[in-house]
Structure 1
Amino acid sequence: MRAVHGHRAYEESAVVPSGPWRALTRELAEFLAPAVDTPGEVLVELVDVRSIDRTRLDRPGVTHLGRACSPADTLTTTPNHRDGRLIGLHLDNWDKLPYAAKHTGRRRLCVNLGPGARYLLVCDQDARAICRAVHSDFVSRYPHTDDLRSYVAEGLPLRCYRLRLDPGDGYVAPTEFLPHDGSTEGQRESTAVFWLGRWPQGAFAAANDG
C-alpha cells in the first residue's frame, strides 16, 4: 500500500494499492477461511445475485444506499462527493461507532450490475488494530479513514486483497471495520448497488456454490 501525494484525482495522502497483484496461495486461502463460529459482523462473503432473497432487503434495519456508476480502468472508485476527488481505501462511518463497538457495525451488501467486472479491495488490518497503532488514547477514539492514512504514512504493515466480481456477483462485507474500496482496474465501467444490514454468516449463498 502507498499514500498518494500531489495527484489531482486523489485526496492528499489517500491510500491505494501499490501492486503488483499476486495470486492467493492455498496456504493463505486456508488461513483466511472463516470458522463456523466467525461472527457475521466481521466476515467478508461473496454472493451470487440469484441467491439473494429480496425479502431480506425489505426488512427493518436494512438501508438501501443506492447505486454508483464507476468509470472504466480506475484503481479505486469512491469519490469525495464535495469535490469529486477519489478518497482511496477508507472506512465507512454510517453507524458512527466508537473504538469499543467498531466491530459491531452493519455490513454492506454490494451487487455488481455490470456491464464490466469490478473488484472489492479489502485490507488485512481492521479499524481497531489501526487505531491502536496510531493513537495512545485509542479507547476514546472513533476509528476513521484518517487513522488509516496515518498508519500507512508511518510505514506499518498492511496487505490488500483484491476479489473479482463479475456482473451478477456481489459481496457482504464489514466496511465499517475493514479498510476497503472498489476498483475497475483493467475493466470496463460498471454500476454497483448497495444496502446496509445485519446478516448472519451464510445468509446469502456463496458465489461459487454453483
Structure 2
Amino acid sequence: MLLIRPPGVYAPQGDTELLAACVRREPLDGSSRVLDLCTGTGAVAITAARSGALVTAVDLSARAVATAWCNARLHHDRVRLRRGDLLAPLPGERFDLVTANPPYVPTDPDGAAPGRGAALAWDAGPDGRLVLDRICRTVPGVLAEGGVLLVVQSALAGVPATLALLRAAALRTEVAARRWQPFGPVMTARAALFERLGVIRPGEREEELVVVRGVRGR
C-alpha cells in the first residue's frame, strides 16, 4: 500500500502488516463500525475502510492524524479522523471492531518517562504496557455485542498479561496471529538494556509479534 509518511509519524512495519492481515479476516460490511486506535499513517484504518465499513481513526499526534487523512484521500477511502487520547474523543460510541497498534517497547526503568515527538509511537514504560493496559481495561466497554478487539504487540511486553486483562473484562480471547522478525532500529538500540534486564537472552535480536483477539459475548 502506497502511503505518505512525514518525519515523526510511525512507519508501517511488520506489526502493521500482521494487524492488517487479521482485519481482512473479519466479516466487515457497510454497516460495521470500526475504530482504529493509535492509527499512525492510517494503514490499518484504510484496510478496514476497503470493506465498506464505517471507520474512525484516532491518534494522539496531530501530525499522524493529518497524515492518516491524506492517506485516506490518496486511496479514496472514507475515514473519520479524531485527535485525542484513545477513546476520549468518542464519548458514548460503540464499535463492532476496534483495532490497536499501541506503543509497546519497554523503556529504561531508570530513565525519564516517555515524552513528546516520534518516541510516543513506541515508548511504553519499563514493562512496555503503559498503553496496552489502558486499552485492555477500557476498550471492552465500547464493544457492541459480538464486537471484536484486535491488538498487536511484541511478546516482550507480556502477551499473558493482555490475555488475562481481556478475560477479566469478560472477552473470549485467543492469539489470532504470530510473526517473528528481526529487531528494528529502536529495539536494536535497546538490546543491551533488554539483556541487562533479562528481557532477552544474550545475543538475541529477534522478537515475536502477536495479535490478540478478544470477542464480547456470543
Same fold, TM-score > 0.5, yes or no = no
Using structure 1 for the length normalisation, give the TM-score.
0.25
Q: Which has the higher helix share?
A: 2
Using structure 2 for the length normalisation, give the TM-score.
0.24
